[in-house]
Amino acid sequence: MSNSTFAQINQVFQDHESFLVVSHVRPDGDAIGSILALGHALEGLGKKVRYLNQDGCPESLAFLPGSEKVEISREALAKGPIEAEVAIALDTAAHSRVGEDSLKAMDGAQVLVNIDHHLSNPGYGDLNYIDSDSPATGQILYDLITALDLPFSEITRDSIYVATSTDTGSFQYPGTTQRTYEMAADLVSRGLNVGQVNSLTYDNSPYRRVELMRSLLNTLERSSDGKVAWWHLTEQTKSDLQLVDDDSEGMIDIIRSVQGVVVALFFEELGADKIRVSLRSKDQRIHANEICGAFGGGGHALAAGIRMAGPLADAKEKVLAEVSRAITSAGV
């Protein structure tokens, strides 16, 4: 698959008047930040834009200006057909990952544009721009918007920062580049209040997240050599603590940070018989996307995920066995 050029994508922007921007289910900062950033730039061109997500904007990102525009796909469809000439999928590695209702909303679009940074993205759009070397889709959009000289509002500015900051672990992960810091510096020059936005992003959690952390620590396990650490979240715990999906976002980084751990995993029950697995690798020789790919999942080299059949015990056994094989094969 060869990438479309920014000029080709810009031609789509110029030739059409109505747009639908969508991102993946259970959206994170890069997903929501990306649709807000590009959507508002298109609005600045005078275009009509709808912002949709299968699950809507999570509570933790509601501080972002413009977040109130993000509609839950099911609720938007209930109001009538979504009329958009162009659908733009952002930060979404597989077409199906936008969710069933978002797929329905995109059905009527004449053109599908796919902009993403996941290594496993197959290029499912009519136009595709996939840069797996970029640490965040937000950074790709910064390059796109500045290269095309699109309107750069405060909403676009703050959304790009949050998108990139959250997907780089606040500029800590190995994928962070010189370009990332140059972008951040330019955003500050455009008026970004770094302290305020960081505080709202990282220091604004509901107390139930603390209760969740306590619960997860009680399930923590490690391999005998300390190279693998994992914990799990059950449906019962989610019910007891009245959790929302967003509450577990970033929790895996707690065990990922443990000295000696090279692979961290988070197993989560989804309903009666489905398991969500998040996997993080701290060693370039152990490819998270390849481990997850063995179960139909995917993602990045150091961060990937799976949705697989349960029960929890079976999922743990299968995935941990694959992790063990990967570590042995890499000679770690």
Per DSSP, what are the bridge partners of residue 281? 263
Total of domains in the chain: 2
Residue-level pLDDT, tens digit, the chain, 332 residues: 689 999 999 999 999 999 999 999 999 999 999 999 999 999 999 999 999 999 999 999 999 999 999 999 999 999 999 999 999 999 999 999 999 999 999 999 999 999 999 988 999 999 999 999 999 999 999 999 999 999 999 999 999 999 999 999 999 888 899 999 999 999 999 999 999 999 999 999 999 999 999 999 999 999 999 999 999 999 999 999 999 988 999 899 999 999 999 999 999 999 878 999 999 999 999 999 999 999 999 888 899 999 999 999 999 999 999 999 999 999 98
Q: Are residues 61 and 187 both part of a single domain? A: yes
290 assigned to some structural domain:
yes
Residue where a domain terminates, one of 202, 221, 254: 202
Q: Which domain holds residue 221?
A: 207-330
Residue 291 parent element (H or E): helix 288-293
What is the Cα–Cα distance from 331 to 327, expressed in whole angstroms? 6
Residues 129 and 96 in one domain: yes
- Dist CA 223 CA 313 (whole Å): 16
Q: Are 34 and 135 contained in the same domain?
A: yes
Q: What is residue 27's predicted lDDT score, i.e. its pLDDT?
A: 96
Tokens of 323: 């992790």
Q: Are residues 38 and 165 in the same domain?
A: yes
Tell me, yes or no, whether 265 and 190 share the same domain. no
**Whether residues 154 and 267 fall in one domain:** no
Would you say the C-alpha torsion 92, 292, 56, 309 has a positive or negative sign?
A: positive
- What's the confidence (pLDDT) of residue 271? 85
- In a shared domain, residues 319 and 295: yes
Whose tokens are 């000696």? That residue is 260
| 1 part of a folded domain | no
Residue 1 has a pLDDT of 67
Nearest one of 19, 93, 98, 97 to 51, comparing CA atoms = 19
Count of all residues that appear for the chain in the document: 332
Domain termination site, one of 143, 172, 202:
202
**pLDDT for the residue 56:** 97
Q: Are residues 172 and 242 in the same domain?
A: no
**228 in the same domain as 244:** yes
Does any domain span residue 289?
yes
* Distance, CA of 318 to chain centre: 25
Residue 48 and residue 122 in one domain: yes
Task: Say what the pLDDT of residue 13 is.
Answer: 98
Q: How far apart are CA 67 and CA 159, in angstroms?
A: 10
Which of left, alpha, beta for 64 (phi over 0: left; psi -120 to 50: alpha)?
A: beta
Q: Give the Cα-Cα-Cα angle 19, 20, 25 (nearest 5 degrees).
A: 160
Q: Which CATH number is 285's domain given?
A: 3.10.310.30
**Is residue 186 included in any domain, yes or no?**
yes
Element (H, E) at 209: helix 207-217
Determine contact, residues 286/304, Cβ cutoff 8 Å. no
Of the three residues 157, 186, 202, the one that is the final residue of a domain is 202
Query: Do both 177 and 155 map to the same domain?
Result: yes
Is 22 a member of any domain? yes
Q: Residue 140 sits in a domain of what CATH number? A: 3.90.1640.10
Residue 93 sits in the same domain as residue 193: yes
Within a domain: residue 315?
yes
Nearest to 113 by CA among 201, 224, 5: 5
